[in-house]
Amino acid sequence: MIICNILMMAATLFTACGLEEGGGNGKTPKEREDIALTKVQQQIGYNANSFTFDFLEAACAKEAEGKSLFLSPFSIQMVLAMTAAGAAGDTQKEMYSALGFDTFTGEDVGGFYRTLIPALQDVDNTTTFEIANSFWSKSPIEIKDGYTDDIKASFFAEVRTLPDDVKTATGHVNGWCNDKTHGMIEKIVDEVSESTVVALMNAIYFKGIWEDPFDKDLNTQDKFTCRDGKKVTTTFMNNTFDNARVYNDEYVEAMSVPYGNGAFAMTIVVPRTGVTPEKVLSGLDADTWYDYRNGGKSYRTYFSMPKFEEEYAAEKLCIDILKDMGMEKAFTGAADFSAMSYTPLCIDEIRHKAKIKVDEEGTEAAAVTYVGMRVTSVGPGGDTFYFKADRPFIYFISERSTGAILFAGIKQSF
C-alpha cells in the first residue's frame, strides 16, 4: 500500500497579536480538551490519515529525488469529499475508495466533517485555525438544491456564482483564495478556464505560537546535510525541554513540539543516517503515527531545528496520484455527478498550493485546493537526549486528541 500519508495533514491558523501575560497573542490558554468523535468518526479519521501518508509517499515518488515538499492532503481530501457528495454510482465508489471512505456512507462522511471542522477551530483559543469551503457555478448550469443544502450543512460551504467573464471569474476565485489564507497564497489559478462551469475550493490557514517559544539569542549557524550530500549553513533554533517524550528506533528519531495550549503540535521525524524519507513513509500507518506523535521515553532534551519557509504547488501531480489510487471515472466523459447537477459534468483540473513559515515564535501555514469541472461531451527520566534535525526530515502539524494531520512536509534541502 502506498504510504505517502505523511502530509495531510491539515491546515490550520494561528493569530499572534501583542505580547501579554498568558501567551504570544495576548490570550490566556484555555485548558486543552479532547475532541469527542464517535467510533465511526474515529475510523474515518484513521483512514483520512492513511490517505495523507499514501498521498505524500506518492508525491515523493513522482517528484525529483531530494526535492522538498509541503502540502495538505487534509485540504485535498476535504474538497474531494465535498465533490464526491455530488457523485453517484461507480464514480462515487471510486472517489470514496481513493479517499479511504469506501466502507462509509455519505452521511457518515458528512457527519465527520460537520463535527470536525468547528471542533478544530475551537480547540485552542490561542491558535487561529480556519477552514473555508466554497462551491461556484455558472448560471446556465442547474445545480440541485439537495446537493447545495448538503455541502452547506456538512462542509459549511459558501455557494457562489462563477462569472461568465474569464477575467472576472479569475479575480473572484483568486480573491477568495487570498482572503481565506490571509494573503499567504495570493492566487490558485492563473486563469479560470473558459470551459470551467463548476469550481470547488478549500482553504485552510494556521498560525500559532509555540507553547515554549525559542529564544532568538540561542540561534546558531550550523550545517544542514541535504539529500544530495551537500552541506548548507543555515540558522538553527535551539531549545531545552526538561521532560520531552522522544521516540527512537533503528530507523528514526521523532518528537512533537506543541503550540498554544498543546492541542496542536508539530511532529518532527528525522530518519537515521542512511535511511531515506521514502523508506520511513513506506512503513507509516496509524500505529506508527501514534508512536511518532506521542513519543516513547521521557528525556531532558536539547532540541535543534532550522528556521525555514517552504512553498509548493501541485497541478497535474494531484490527478496522476488520484488515478493511481483508483479514482478514474471522475475525470472522464463517463463521470456521474448526477447528485450535483442535471448537466453531465467531469473533473477537469485539480490544483493545490501550500506554504509554511517556521520561526522562533511559531508556525504560519496555509493551503488551497481547487477543483475545476467542465461539461462532458456525453453525459522525566534521568537520561539526556540530543535531538537535531540537521539532515532530511519529515514533519506534520496535527491535532492531539484526534491525531488529525492538517499539514505534512519533507525538508530535504535549502
Average pLDDT over residues 215-242: 95
Tell me: pLDDT of 329 over 70.
Answer: yes
Contact 278, 142 (CB under 8 A): no
Continuous segment of H or E residues that includes residue 83: helix 73-84
Residue 25 — pLDDT band, cuts 50, 70, 90?
A: low
Q: Look at 41 and 315; give whichever has higher pLDDT.
A: 41
CATH number of 39-210+309-375: 3.30.497.10
Quick one: average pLDDT of 32-54?
Answer: 94
Residue 386: its pLDDT value, please? 75
Query: C-alpha grid cell for residue 70?
Result: 509541503
Overall average pLDDT of the 384-405 stretch = 89
pLDDT of residue 230: 92
Distance between CA atoms of 93 and 334, rounded to whole angstroms? 13
Higher per-residue confidence, 276 vs 65 = 276
User: Quick check: 263 pLDDT over 60?
Assistant: yes
Does the predicted TM-score (pTM) go above 0.85?
A: yes
Give the three-state DSSP class for 145.
Answer: helix
**Does the pLDDT value for residue 373 go beyond 50?**
yes
pLDDT in tens, 75-117: 999 999 999 999 999 999 999 999 999 999 999 999 999 999 9
Kindly state the average pLDDT of the residues 277-302.
Answer: 91
- Report the share of the chain in percent with pLDDT over 70: 92
| Per-residue pLDDT at 26 exceeds 90 | no
Ordered DSSP codes for 54-80: HHHHHHHHHSPTT--EEE-HHHHHHHH
- Cα–Cα distance for residue pair 88/147, rounded to 1 Å: 12
pLDDT band of residue 4 (cuts 50, 70, 90) is very low
Q: Residue 380: its pLDDT value, please?
A: 44
Would the pLDDT of 9 be above 50?
Answer: no
Q: How far is CA 315 from the centre of its chain?
A: 16
Q: Give domain limits for the chain.
A: 39-210+309-375, 216-306+382-390
Which whole number is the average pLDDT over 193-220? 96
Q: Which residues, listed in sequence order, are joined to residue 247 by a DSSP beta bridge?
A: 254
Confidence grade of residue 316 (pLDDT, cut at 50, 70, 90)? confident
Residue-wise pLDDT for 48-73, tens only, equals 999 999 999 999 998 878 889 999 99
> What pLDDT score does 3 carry?
37
Residue 5: its pLDDT value, please? 37
pLDDT beyond 80 at 281? yes
- Mean pLDDT calculated for residue range 32-40: 93
Q: Is 107 strand, coil or helix?
A: helix
User: Does the domain made of 216-306+382-390 have the CATH classification 2.30.39.10?
Assistant: yes
Tell me, yes or no, if the two domains 39-210+309-375 and 216-306+382-390 fold the same way.
no
Taking 80 as the threshold, does the pLDDT of residue 123 lie above it? Answer: yes
Cα gap 355→184, rounded to integer Å: 7
Supply the mean pLDDT for the chain: 90
Give tens-digit pLDDT for 131-180.
Answer: 999 999 998 889 999 999 999 999 999 999 999 999 999 999 999 999 99
Residue with the larger pLDDT of the pair 11 and 127? 127
Residue 48: per-residue pLDDT:
95
